[in-house]
Structure 1
Amino acid sequence: MDAEGWTRELGRPGSVRELGGVRVSAVRCPALSLTGGSAGPYHLALLLAGELVLDQEGRSARAGREDLVLLDGGRPFRLAFTAPRNTVVTAHLPVVPGDPGQCVARTLSGREGLGALVAGLLTGLARDTTPYRSAEERRLGVAVLELSGALLDSGHSEPAPAPLLPRVQAYVLQHLGDGRLTPDDVAAAHHISTRYLHRLFQRQGLTVAAWIKAQRLERCRRDLADPRLAHLPVHVIAARWGFAQPADFSRAFRTAYGISPSCFRGRSLPTNSARAANDSRLTAQQTHG
């Protein structure tokens, strides 16, 4: 997405300044989502009001008032403005220092240090209406590039945010009992597209549906082996982990473990070692399946 496309997609332009190879624009927009990533410059966005969530390069950055975040217009991304009213000042940069992949989708504070200097410069340029000469505009563009570059370069040493996939999986585990849970629901909860969600799992050699199903089956297996839950019918245990149809659950359980749920539960385990050996064998079958 190029600079003009960015301004057009977001909403009402407040101001645009051309500073040589750098463009500084300010826009106001309601809650909305954008996807892109085929061509265009880098966008260093400063939130003056509202909130945004950027998902790119396997990371998810959440920025609030006076935070900055870098987006690479040439790589796939999903950007969501989540507040009813949002104001963002963006520096459209032709280049960034170092490894761009280490800079994108990282939240940087605009309230202190280099971040405060960048935020102050961008805010001032967005509000300034002075008609500068061409040479002055180029110098201002260089100032934006150099100061932004210093900020992004310093951000390399900060701890990386938690990867997105573990957070997605934790969310799924918290909602396993909801039989209506779909990949679309999971993606929406994390402000990413369903297609990108599938790519996250594919990188680990997994599929979303298969991983969810395997987690549900494992919870059912544990409950069926728990003597404290012996009073619960098999179909009740299946339902509590998202299997609405007993027949579907029985088929899935037999496929995963090579035994029906009722037979598995009815097996006698006279010693702890026998239980451990049986659990190990079942786990191996599940992995193989």
Structure 2
Amino acid sequence: MAGWHLVLVQDGELELEQAGRTARIEAGGFVLLDSGRPFRIRLAGASNTVLATRLAGRPQPHDGLVARELGRRPGVAQLVAGFLVGLAADTAPYGPGDELRLGTVVSDLVVLLLDEGLGDSALLPRIQAYIVQRLGEEGLTPDRVAAAHHISTRYLHRLFQRQGLTVASWIKGQRLERCRRDLADPGLRHLPVHVVAARWGFAQAADFSRAFRAAYGTTPTRFRAGVPGMWGRHLPRNCARSANDVRVPAQQTHGHDEARRIVPVTAH
């Protein structure tokens, strides 16, 4: 029967193609599937265990989450996964009233998980704002950024990849743009170039010089001196991307299509 399904990958790896997107889900991850539309599933692990939960109704607000990885934040995802795994393993008989209550619990947990997924559109700007406020700190690593937002480092990288970016290149680009602004500011000409670089997180002057030249086509010193044609070579002030953003190519997958075990769990 056509409908919405929340799929939990317990073991192995699953690849879902639907709605023009491809989601590759590893163990512990969730993905939303609309079986009323064309889709393709491939189980890519050597051994795969998958739980599929059919959802009642049609959660229209969550349509944009089809074929997108869900549940990489701790807390809600672990709660939903633990409940579904325990329910699938429970062979005790339940009366109609118990089944209805259990179905309500499952539905509420799933909606909570999906609502968390919708929050990703607001999460990335918050993460970027957090980074911008700390650009001058040397220890601004993906691990630190992820921990500050209670997500895994892998999930952090995935958020940036969805925009065709990498975390490191975005941080580097934002730092370079602040350095460029300071070097172009007449009021800061008393600051040596290496001091400007250090205040925005570049510990090594040589590394900063190479990165600046790659981004703007000249050295920091020549830029500050006002080499013709250099002043306008920068991005808009509020641009989310930078000249140093790196597009991430789509990952290639390998494996086979054999399903080892699929356990259906129905949510009413």
- TM-score, normalised by the number of residues in structure 1: 0.49
- Tell me whether 1:260 sits opposite 2:219 in the alignment: yes
- Structure with the bigger RCO (C-alpha within 8 Å, sep 6+) is 2
CA distance in 2, matches of 1:199, 1:150: 26
- Tell me whether 1:145 sits opposite 2:97 in the alignment: no
CA distance in 1, matches of 2:72, 2:178: 34
CA distance in 2, matches of 1:152, 1:37: 13
- Offset of 1:91 from its aligned partner? 5.7
Cα offsets for 1:180-230 (capped at 9, x unmatched): 211111111112221221111111111111111000000000001111111
**Matched residue, 1:37:** 29
Q: Which amino acid aligns with 1:223?
A: D
**By percentage of residues, which structure has more strand?**
1
Q: Which amino acid aligns with 1:204?
A: Q
CA distance in 2, matches of 1:240, 1:173: 13
- Tell me whether 1:243 sits opposite 2:254 in the alignment: no
State how 1:178-197 maps to structure 2 within 5 Å.
Answer: 178-197=137-156
State how 1:273-288 maps to structure 2 within 5 Å.
Answer: 278-283=230-235, 287=243
Out of 219-228 and 184-193, give the one that drifted further.
184-193
CA distance in 2, matches of 1:204, 1:281: 23
- Tell me whether 1:228 sits opposite 2:187 in the alignment: yes
Q: Which amino acid aligns with 2:205?
A: P
**Matched residue, 2:74:** 79
Structure-2 change in CA distance of 1:193 and 1:288 (3 Å) = closer
Identity of aligned residues (%): 51
C-alpha RMSD of the superposition: 4.4
State how 1:111-122 maps to structure 2 within 5 Å.
Answer: none
Q: Which amino acid aligns with 1:281?
A: R
Contact 2:138 2:201 in 1 (8 A): yes
CA distance in 2, matches of 1:156, 1:40: 16
CA distance in 1, matches of 2:183, 2:213: 14
Cα offsets for 1:80-101 (capped at 9, x unmatched): 49xxxxx99x864999xxxxxx
Structure-2 change in CA distance of 1:233 and 1:150 (3 Å) = closer
CA distance in 2, matches of 1:283, 1:213: 14
- Tell me whether 1:164 sits opposite 2:123 in the alignment: yes
Gaps of 5+ in 1: 6-34, 43-57, 60-73, 82-86, 96-132, 270-276
Structure-2 change in CA distance of 1:75 and 1:231 (3 Å) = closer
Structure-2 change in CA distance of 1:147 and 1:248 (3 Å) = closer
SS at match of 1:40: strand
Out of 215-224 and 189-198, give the one that drifted further.
189-198
SS at match of 2:164: coil
**Matched residue, 2:21:** none
Bigger Rg, which one? 1
CA distance in 2, matches of 1:79, 1:41: 20
Contact 1:41 1:92 in 2 (8 A): no
SS at match of 2:73: strand
CA distance in 2, matches of 1:37, 1:194: 14
Structure-2 change in CA distance of 1:40 and 1:75 (3 Å) = farther
SS at match of 1:173: helix
CA distance in 2, matches of 1:78, 1:151: 14
CA distance in 1, matches of 2:202, 2:104: 57
- Offset of 1:78 from its aligned partner? 3.1
- TM-score, normalised by the number of residues in structure 2: 0.52
Contact 2:169 2:244 in 1 (8 A): no
**Matched residue, 1:200:** 159
Match for 1:176 among 106, 127, 135?
135
Q: How many residues align?
A: 176
CA distance in 1, matches of 2:113, 2:155: 26
CA distance in 1, matches of 2:184, 2:110: 53
